[in-house]
Amino acid sequence: MLSKLLKQNQSDQGHIILRGAFLIIHQSWEAIKNQRPGSGEQLLRPYAM
């Protein structure tokens, strides 16, 4: 019973972490997209070498 409860808690925690990471990535992507066109390319240009 206790181990089942523990596993349930772990999976919930993992889901929350994944969801948080997805939200952060999504917000960053929206911020990059909403800047003027081409700004994303300028951000990546230093790494293109």
Instruction: Give yes or no for residue 40 having a pLDDT over 60.
Output: no
Picking from 24, 26, 29, 27, the residue whose alpha carbon sits closest to that of residue 40 is 29
| pLDDT attached to residue 5 | 67
pLDDT single digits (tens) 2-20: 778 667 777 788 888 888 8
Backbone angles phi, psi at 38, to 5 degrees: 90, -10
Q: What are the structure tokens assigned to 49, written together?
A: 């070498």
Q: Average pLDDT of 23-46? A: 73
The Cα–Cα gap between 35 and 17 comes to: 28
Q: Average pLDDT of 19-25? A: 89
